[in-house]
Chains A and B, each alone.
Chain A
């Protein structure tokens, strides 16, 4: 795969170096005042390949789209259709991300972390474009394509902490509003981009026989969608995982009980639910322990009557960990806002005076938060007990992606209730 990518490198230059090409177009002979022999560039970033790809029409990915080929194993025809669809639209999605990144202030994209992400996207786009679209006519080619997708997915798995680090370092060079706007848009779009790739990978693994060393999705899966997802199971496993981190850090773990309707199942994407529940439980567990509260965390699962795409599922996480201080409530949805270690480094809190006074806390709080990035990687994002400050806004982005919602209600000095609502997808006899 890298050989192909390397061959594509020469065509990559116009993307990153068009600035210098323009300046040197007349050969740089030293006649500074004369513009003789100057030919204007034929492409500019406003209409180059990135811009053209990014301008293509893109439909929002829905759960219905994901399951449209039916249950695997897919026929060769369906699998190839899925591959061609991904080959066509993934470049559009990647181009849009690149366009957004290159419109950021120069000083921000110069930051090594941000620049790494930017180059990752360029590399991935090159790799995909180098794969001839017309060749997706046989399973062999399709397998190669899926390998490429897998590599791309892996390359980008650390985007969030890297971007977080970068934006934290660039705090002084942009307004909180601009940073939030970019991050929110980017991270939400990223959900769809990854999903598109991972869905095809999942369908491939379930349709094409694999060697025993490769793990394939379970019988109830259609790609990344588990048609029989049992929320209680996810909650139990996340509680166990977060509890372990708690014990490691605090030496204790709070109790958790599940009530309501623990046996219901509905079609949804397990890794999304896992991410959200993990983040929410991290908040609940930390609050409970730090408040020394013996009261268990109660998770209530409610299933609305009717089909899964009507009312959906509502999960309430109720803790008695002392609630959220009124001063902090306005910032909980900001990226990189965290009360961990008493620090308050906030991007997008909308209160710029807030940032000024944070210098004393920032280096330590910020560094500690960054230190957390390197802890053990979770399924979707690296985990930490707290400190990233991305947990709530990201969870909400995941919840809202398919029409759900995430709401936080705090009774300060008592506890917090979090309401997660998710809509499934009608299986229509699948």
Chain B
């Protein structure tokens, strides 16, 4: 303000002087210019930078008539009991059952996807226009449009065509999880963390339900078509798989396999000379139960990966002595299997505990985003199929989105292992709890429902 007063008084002085007007004008000019610049702010000019920014945030979403979507959303999802799903295909698969299954999938998938599309539509505009989330949105809409237009399946031939469509969609959607995760990390300063977490939980739970329904149908079709399938004969070997569900999943075997695999990855990543902790398994080792191996392998894999990496990081200075082992306890009740993974990796500091279960990871988002770009084939769209590392899956040539994640090296921290694992655990009426002994180590308790349990309803996972 004082500058303005100074300048304007100077102008008055000039004006009051007895100089000729032209000299006055010449004297006043520069002062007036200064005065003008101090009182009236210079308008923002369309610089090169500004122009680029504006065009980058321009967005032309395809406006689709939302009437169709509205009509689908008006219908609730139809939950199917897992018992029905699993034992449906048991020994009496016939044409009719396959066709029924196909039509259930045909109608259920677009219904459930419609609900999720609406969820995304309700998020703030600035969030859904994030490039990763926008890609997911487009994928979902495309799937919705394509599935809702499929006519009723009436023959096995129709079913074959249908299965091809399903397979393609499953493949295309493999990038959804990393895209969602990266999108959420990039948007974590636009929306409160808890809202982003709620959104992620809902969309991931629904995704599990759709993929399991779809994969189960594909597996049943496979079984039906397989040359060894004789519908009326008594088979000599008990059916080990019903679709994706492995009826006699052995807890110890799963932990051993996953443990071996994760330790190998750790060895590769940390150098073959550095010590690697041992994994010791104790408890009720004869436990078998029906489960979907890829889910269990993912969760156990994440937990072991965390423990192994923490143990290595915490003890590296004293690398001459052997590292304390990771102890996995397996036990079971009538309805649940319990895994306890205990490590001596130094525990988790109190300051980090708050963000452990969040997908939004507020303070460390940048680190995690960086790491995403290092995961093999995470960001790119899929071109070819890839063999999975896990032989339990019936369709070995089928790449699953989880296998992509489980084959990454353990020191590549994406920050979503725990929240993702919890989504999977809770989906099957289970739970995931973590207890940290700050300065010593961490205990994680995974509880899963035995899948034969009739209480597990195979719902969309979300109350509509």
Contacts and interface: CB of A to CB of B under 8 A. Distances in A.
Interface string A41-57: 00000000000000000
Given A312-B438, A314-B439, A413 B350 contact: no
Contact of A411 (B331, B347, B349): B331
Interface string B346-361: 0101100000000000
Q: Which of A312, A316, A413, A414 counts the most chain B CB atoms within 10 A?
A: A414
Interface in B281-338: 283-284, 329, 331-333, 336, 338
A303 B435 contact: no
Given A300-B440, A311-B350, A414-B283, A419 B329 contact: no
A314 B437 contact: yes
Given A310-B350, A411-B331, A413-B333, A419 B439 contact: no
A301 B440 CA distance: 8
Nearest to B331: A414
Contacts of B438: 302-305, 311-312, 314, 421
A411 B436 contact: no
B450 interface: no
A262 to B, nearest CB: 12
A191 B441 CA distance: 31
A302 B443 contact: no
A314 B434 CA distance: 14
A310 B440 CA distance: 15
Contacts of A316: 435, 437, 443
A260 B445 CA distance: 20
Nearest to B350: A311
A316 B436 CA distance: 10
B440 A314 contact: yes
Contacts of B252: none
Q: Which of B284, B331, B336, B440 counts the most chain A CB atoms within 10 A?
A: B440
Contacts of B329: 411, 414
Contact of A412 (B333, B349, B436, B440): B333
A260 B350 CA distance: 19
Main secondary structure of the interface of A (DSSP, over half): strand
A326 B336 CA distance: 11
B443 A261 contact: no
B444 to A, nearest CB: 10
B433 interface: yes
Contact of B437 (A300, A310, A409, A414): A300
A304 B338 contact: no
A91 to B, nearest CB: 37
A411 B332 CA distance: 8
A202 B50 CA distance: 70
A411 B440 contact: no
Contact of A302 (B433, B439, B445): B439
A141 interface: no
Interface string A411-423: 1111001010100
B439 A261 contact: yes
A336 B347 CA distance: 34
Interface residues of B, number: 22
Interface in A317-362: 326
A326 B338 CA distance: 13
A409 B443 contact: yes
Given A411-B338, A411-B445, A414-B283, A311 B333 contact: no
A417 B435 contact: yes
B340 to A, nearest CB: 6
Interface residues of A, number: 23
Q: Which of A260, A310, A412, A419 counts the most chain B CB atoms within 10 A?
A: A412
Given A300-B440, A409-B443, A417-B435, A311 B349 contact: yes
A311 B439 contact: yes
Contact of A314 (B332, B433, B436): B436
A302 B441 contact: yes
Q: Which of B433, B437, B440, B445 counts the most chain A CB atoms within 10 A?
A: B437
Contacts of A302: 347, 437-441
Contacts of A9: none
A420 to B, nearest CB: 10
A303 B443 CA distance: 16
Given A314-B347, A414-B283, A409 B435 contact: yes
A407 interface: yes
Interface string B160-201: 000000000000000000000000000000000000000000
Contacts of B331: 411, 413-414
A300 B445 CA distance: 17
B445 A409 contact: yes
A311 B436 CA distance: 11
B422 to A, nearest CB: 15
B439 A305 contact: yes
A144 B338 CA distance: 60
Contacts of B284: 414
A421 B349 CA distance: 12
A303 B340 CA distance: 22
A409 B347 contact: no
Contacts of B333: 326, 412-413
Nearest to B333: A412
Contacts of A414: 283-284, 329, 331, 338
Contacts of A411: 329, 331, 338, 340, 445
Contacts of B283: 414
A137 B462 CA distance: 69
A423 B347 CA distance: 16
B433 to A, nearest CB: 6
Nearest to B336: A412
Nearest to A306: B349
A185 to B, nearest CB: 27
Contacts of A326: 333
A304 B445 contact: no
A338 B179 CA distance: 50
Contacts of B441: 302
Interface in B429-464: 433, 435-441, 443, 445
A326 B436 CA distance: 23
Given A409-B435, A414-B338, 10 more contacts: A311-B350, A314-B437, A314-B439, A407-B435, A409-B443, A412-B338, A413-B333, A414-B283, A417-B443, A421-B438
Interface of A: 260-261, 300-305, 310-312, 314, 316, 326, 407, 409, 411-414, 417, 419, 421
5 contacts: A302-B438, A314-B438, A409-B435, A411-B338, A414-B283
Q: Which 10 A-B pairs have the closest CB atoms?
A: A302-B440, A304-B438, A302-B437, A414-B331, A311-B438, A314-B437, A304-B439, A302-B439, A411-B338, A419-B435
